[in-house]
Structure 1
Amino acid sequence: MKTRLLGTQGLEVSSIGLGCMGMSDFYGRHNEQDSLNTLSQAIESGVTFWDTSDIYGPHTNEQLLGRYFTQHPSHRNTVTLATKFGVMRSPQGDFLGVNGRPEYVQQACDASLTRLGVEHIDLYYQHRMDPSVPIEDTVGAMADLVKQGKVKYLGLSEAGVNTLERASVVHPISALQSEFSLWSRHLEAEILPACQRLGVGLVSYSPLGRGFLTGAIKTRADLEAGDWRLANPRFSEQNFHHNLALVDKIKQQASAKQCTAAQLALAWILHQSDHYVPIPGTRSVQRLVENAGAVSIELSTAELDEVNQIISPELIAGERYPEAAMSALDL
């Protein structure tokens, strides 16, 4: 496994990370032992940049990682641990809005530290922006956590250019975590140039299009009842087969390259910049090993151009989130 730098403050992480959300929430049934096995395989594969959030479960994903570190205390220093705050959920999982108030930042961090069973968080993100609170106030409270030794580096998730610029005046932002993949390239026009200008690395969530770009999902019936993706516009009855045809072309190119579609999609991200890191989520040891193998895929300029032509943004059917959720993105 290779490593990459996020931001200009010295945050070095594995070139492929691990999104832990699906181990506890959103994507159907989950088995704790399978997840723990996958975390152990991540250590073996060098996939040591782990991503969670207090809303996953809610809270249960952080607790899962906390149990892992209790069982394997020596692995804590191996892992670069990232978590997030700011999206409010009830114990039943209902979404209650966002909260960026300074006093809440401190409370949320302390609660995450307790659930994770760690002394510090390596990378702490504001999960969604709170329009009612100036970003300077929120990031100022996050900077206080750095001074207290509770957090090492700061990040924002789904922040827009103006927010990134204002936040960076208060404290260096090491990473922006936003959706970015072959079929989600909305960042390219303005946000990614701003990241480069400000010295902010990109952490790409859903780099495999929530599993669609792997080619493993062939019908909507492959998703369990209650899987959040059934309500996602790109997985809808109206758009599914159109998007599947594009993925089939990616699978053909991957086959010619002697790699999997997932590896090709991850390699495409890695080739965009030395400061972009995808964090594909999985509960499977096999998939984790497959994803880690993407660091060895070399793509020529001609091959990158071919991929871009196959699955250019204007060819994708459907938005990346339902309409109600889109209003909270890139603020």
Structure 2
Amino acid sequence: MEYKELGDSGIKTSVITFGSWAAGGWMWGGTEQNDAVGAIHAAYDLGVTSIDTAPIYGQGLSEEIVGEAIKSLPRDKVQILTKFGMRWDLAKGDFGFKTKDNNGHDLDVYKYAAPESIIKECEDSLRRLGTDYIDLYQIHWPDVTTPIADTMGAVAKLIEQGKVRAVGVSNYSVEQMQEAEQTVKLASNQVPYSMVKRDIERDVVPYCLEHNKAILAYSPMQLGLLTGKVTPGYQFGEGDLRKNNPLFSGDNLTRVNGFLDKIKPLAESKNATLAQVVLRWTIEQPGITVALVGARNADQAAQNAKAVDVKLSAEELDFITKQLNQLQLA
């Protein structure tokens, strides 16, 4: 495994970080807790020491699963990355979206990051995770109803109290990062980034490179699209967020699979899966610190971790990028 520091926080994370959104079941068609714990352990055995979670994933379930998984692991060898600022149990702040919980009940989710809410959320997360500190605490989405200075001031207090080691943001623009930095030193920004979603290269990546901020790329496999396993006609189950995603239908799906066919021989020549080549390309991109990758079972987790064993030359990376640059998606 390879490890990189989150900015200058002193916290080193594995470049493949375990993303536990799917482990919470929510929006992914359910979960099997034993499989999720086994997946985290399999990843750890291969050097994946960092786990990213959030309260909203399964409305606490993902954090509880992570907590169960790390009980038998040395706490000082594991980095817990979790989030705050999305409330499903309180109608305050900026309305986010309507969803359903794992039992099919309607939920309204709000983006809310007022100081008193953050303090409560931190205590709840610590309890669910079964730990007394969080390595990286990230605001999940911007909350337009709370001044950024108030939000970051509350996290700064949690750092002073030893409950949080470093603060990060997620889904923040460069301007929002600059505002946050007036109150607290940021370690990172967690943003969507994949072969077919590269818009952060215009502004977020240059800013983070210049100011030594880590970028945690989420959905590097674009919700499974880049595995090559989702082909035209694929049927998603009820409750799966990909069911109505335009990338998974029509010409887009056909074109993405056409691109994957072009890099498949490269993967085969390295005895690697398409997914492993995709992940290796991702963590080789300028400014990208880690790739957050989910896994539902131990085998998937092991396959993800072994992406670091795939070596791509400068020429091979350039070949892949050139093919991507020719990809036209609607």
Structure 1 and Structure 2 fold alike (TM over 0.5): yes
Query: Match of 1:290?
Result: 303
| TM superposition score normalised by structure 1 | 0.89
User: Which of residues 152, 169, 175 is equivalent to 1:162?
Assistant: 175
Counting only pairs closer than 5 Å after superposition, residues 41-56 of structure 1 correspond to structure 2 as 41-56=42-57
Contact 2:209 2:287 in 1 (8 A): no
Provide the C-alpha distance between the structure 2 equivalents of 1:78 and 1:247, rounded to a whole number of angstroms: 36
Would you say how many aligned residue pairs link Structure 1 and Structure 2? 315
CA distance in 2 between partners of 1:126 and 1:149 (Å) = 18
Counterpart position of 2:83:
84
SS in 2 for 1:280: strand
Structure with more of its chain in helix, by fraction: 1
1:322 is matched with: none
How far, CA to CA, are the matches of 1:186 and 1:8 in structure 2? Answer: 25
Which segment is superposed worse, 253-262 or 39-48? 253-262
For residue 194 of structure 1, give the secondary structure of its aligned residue in structure 2: helix
CA distance in 1, matches of 2:226, 2:151: 35
TM-score when normalising by structure 2? 0.90
Q: Are the equivalent residues in 1 in contact too, given 2:208–2:287 (CA < 8 A)? A: no
Per-residue CA deviation, residues 126-152 of structure 1 (Å, 9 max, x unaligned), is 000011222111111111110011100
Cα-to-partner distance string for 1:50-74 (whole Å, 9 max, x where unaligned): 000000011111111222234x1x4
TM-align CA RMSD: 1.8
Partner Cα distance (1:133, 1:267) in 2 = 38
Give yes or no for contact 2:205–2:287 (8 Å, CA) kept in 1. no
Alignment pair present for 1:215 and 2:228: yes
Question: Which of 317, 323, 326 is the equivalent residue of 2:329?
Answer: 317
The equivalent of 1:26 in structure 2 is: 27
User: What do the CA deviations read for 1:81-123 (whole angstroms, capped 9, x no partner)?
Assistant: 0111112225646242200211111111111111111100110
Q: Which amino acid aligns with 2:306?
A: G
Equivalent residue of 1:239, what SS?
helix
Pairwise mapping of residues 41-190 of structure 1 onto structure 2 (< 5 A)?
Answer: 41-70=42-71, 72=72, 74-90=73-89, 92=105, 94-190=107-203
What residue is the counterpart of 2:290 in the other structure?
277
Residues in 2 aligned to 1:310 and 1:95: alpha-carbon distance in whole angstroms: 41
> In 2, distance between residues paired with 1:51 and 1:150?
17
Separation in 2, partners of 1:51, 1:308: 28
Segments of structure 2 that go 5 or more residues without pairing to the other structure are: 90-100
One-letter amino acid of the structure 1 residue matched with residue 180 of structure 2: A
Identity %: 32
Question: Which structure 2 residues correspond to residues 255-274 of structure 1 after superposition, within 5 A?
Answer: 255-273=268-286
Shift of 1:248: 2.5
Pick which of 152-161 and 216-225 moved more: 216-225
Other structure's SS at 1:138 match: helix
Distance 1:212 1:44 in 2: 27
Contact 2:282 2:288 survives alignment (8 Å): no
Q: Does the Cα contact within 8 Å between 2:133 and 2:165 map onto a contact in 1?
A: yes
Q: After superposing the two structures, state which structure 1 stretch, 228-237 or 177-186, moved more.
A: 228-237
- Alpha carbons 1:48, 1:78 under 8 Å: kept: yes
* Unpaired segments ≥5 residues, structure 1: 319-331
Query: Structure 1 residues 34, 142: CA separation in 2 closer, same or farther (over 3 Å shift)?
Result: same
Q: Give the distance between the partners of 2:328 and 2:135, measured in 1 at CA.
A: 35
Change (3 A) 1:160 1:262: same
Q: Kindly provide the amino acid, as one letter, of the partner of residue 264 in structure 2.
A: K
